[in-house]
Each structure stands twice: as C-alpha cells, then as structure tokens.
Structure 1
Amino acid sequence: MSKPEKIVLFNGTNLDNWVTRSGDAPVAWQVENGVMTVASRTTDIMTKEVFGDAYIHLEFRIPDMPDKNGQHKGNSGVFLHGRYEIQVLDSFGVESGRGDCSAIYDKYSPLFNNCLPAEQWQSYDIIFRAPRFAADGSVSEKPRLTLLHNGLPVHNNLILETITGASLTEDMVAEGPLLLQDHGCPVSFRNIWMYRLPQAGADKY
C-alpha cells in the first residue's frame, strides 16, 4: 500500500479551500504573511475537503487579551467532522478542565496542561479514527482521537461518546470537514495539512 498524499488545507496565501459554515457567504477571515486570523463575529469556516480517518496538523496563536478571562480569553475551536470540538483557549498556567485548551469541549479534559503563553505558536497533531457503521446505518463503533498538543499526548486513543455543542449536525458521519470556530477572538492559524489514513493495511505477508 502506497503512502497517502499530503493534503494542504491552508497554503498561507488564500482561503480557496475553505467555505463559511453555511456555505452561502464569502470567507471574511484575514490572510497575511502565511497566517489566517479570525475576523471577529463573521462566521465559522470549514474545509471543502472532507475526510474519514485522518492525521491532521495545524498551528495556532492565541492573542494576548489581559482584560479578558475564562471563555472570553482567546477562544476558538477545531471541529473534526464539524462535530467534535478541540478547544482553543488561553489556558496557560491554569489547572485544565473540560473547557480549557486541548479539551474535547465540555466532554473530556486533557491529561495535563501543555499550553504555552499567549502570542506563542502552538501545535495540534491529531490522529482521528472516524465512526464505523453497521449495515443498517447505526453506529457500530464510536470515533476515537489521539491528540498531541505541542508534541505531547494530551488525549490517548480517546473514545468520543457524543458530539460536542455547536456542531454542524447532531448525527455522526463517516466523513466530514475540518471546521475552525469564530468565537469573537482574533485567534490565528497556519500550516494546516492532513493525510487521509486507510482503515487497514494490506492483507498480505
């Protein structure tokens, strides 16, 4: 079996590979010097590309917002399949909970806090196993997630029992887009790419 192709989702130049959450408006996020930045209170954006099992890499930078706190401090999110949110937030130095950076929002806390201070570039490396479906269309296996935050595993083969809030729909799907959230904070992203992963290796010796 040959190595999968690297798919560049954000090329640092334009947002041609992205659409708005509703798909019916121009993408208004800003692109400058190889970086895309949330244009506050425009809308979420998502990839035209959809995927099942995948390895995804992205980098993000949280702005310094010293006058804000809690969920108002550098908030964004990375939604796998548009349904499972990995939180982006300024959580440097706090005891992480289900609403903090690298949490599966409101569902699962990270194993530990590996956040860097605001204004520093951070990375998510995501290994996502999509849900599996029976012949009648019911979910036979829930999706799974391994997440490396700044190079260290903060979720290890985690079973995602349910969809998180603010998802595209309430149903699990075999394939879906990568969605980035506009939560009103000028969070920046760069170097976004993925590999689609086969469900199994070759059946030979």
Structure 2
Amino acid sequence: MNAKESGGLRERKKIATREALSAAALRLALERGPENVRVDDIAEAAGVSPRTYNNYFSSREQAIVAAVLAERALRIGAALRARPVGEPLAEAVIEALVEQYGADGEPPGDLLTLITSSPGLRAEFVDMAAAIDQPLAAAIAARTGSDDDFATAVLAAAVSAAARVALERWVRPAGDGLLVVPRGSLADILREALAHVAPALRAADPG
C-alpha cells in the first residue's frame, strides 16, 4: 500500500469513527434523554475509548448535533457549487443555504423535539453554523474566480453569522423560557437574515 492509499484509508477510518460516535450519541439521547448520556456511554456504544471520543468531539451535545446535521457544512459548499452558472452570487448563496437548512433540511419532528428540549443541544445546534465558513469560502472563491482569500473568508463568515442568528431565533425559548416552539418556517427566517448580507455578496459578484 502506497502513502496515498494509506492516507486515504486513515481518513476513511476517521470518518467512520466520527459517524459511529455521533450515531451512538443520538441513539442514546433518544433512548435516555440527553441529560442521562455520558461520554463514556457513547464511547462504549461505538466501541472506542473515551480518549478516542475526545479526539472527535468536545461534548456529548456536539456529538448528538453532529448526527442530526450530518456534514451539513460540506453539503452547503457542494450545493453552492452546483447552482446554475448564470445565477447571481447572492441568490446562489441564499438558495444553497435554504436548500440545506430550510424545508426538507429541517430536523425531523422527533429530532427537533430532542434538540429544543435541551438548552445545551439548542446552543450547539446554533453554534454549528460556524462550521460552514471554510467550505462556503472555498465555494465562493470557486464560483467567483477570486484569489482573495481574505475577502472570501469575510463573506463566508458574514453568511454563517446571519445563518447563526436565524437558527437562534428559530429555536429561541418563548415566554417563560421553558417551552421552545420553532417560530415559523426556518427557510423564511434564513431568507430574511441573509437578505442583510446580500449587498456584500452582490458587490463581490464579478458577473
């Protein structure tokens, strides 16, 4: 086996381990409730050591939410690259995010209930919007032909910040702070939030 094949095998093993850990975390959270799941339980269910678990996730909440979002960041980058060539950048970015987060991208009912029932899971769900920065910056650069890494990183960070605000608003506790009812369509809230960064995306559009 050459070095390239060995590196590819290691990467596939890492991905498989991460997926096994997140799947175990989600299964246990659904069975027991997230507050009754320990890192040691997740590691044991996935057949690895707690030390190995800590190489992939920093908390049980992160592992649970990773299973729900399932590589959403990479899919957003791919969705942007797949948008029609002549579509303006602002519209392409907005539609790529809405496609992955809104409507069909919303967590199913039982998983959404799980997330909204736990303050820790809600916070992690919102914070994971930051994970779209790098894939989105790379996709923006590819779409615009820009070699200005700083500019594309700033644009991607602005988009992910808007997405984070939209997600936080969608799952914000109502009234007494105990009951969380998702507020309307996540797709609509995303469009409203992203409209505020659309002028910057239009300015960066070479077309």
TM bucket normalised to smaller: under 0.3
Question: Based on CA coordinates, which of the two structures has the bigger radius of gyration?
Answer: 2
More helix by share: 2
Per chain length, whose mean CA-contact separation is higher, i.e. which structure has more relative contact order (CA < 8 Å, sep 6+)? 1
What is the TM-score with the length of structure 2 in the denominator? Answer: 0.24
More strand by share: 1
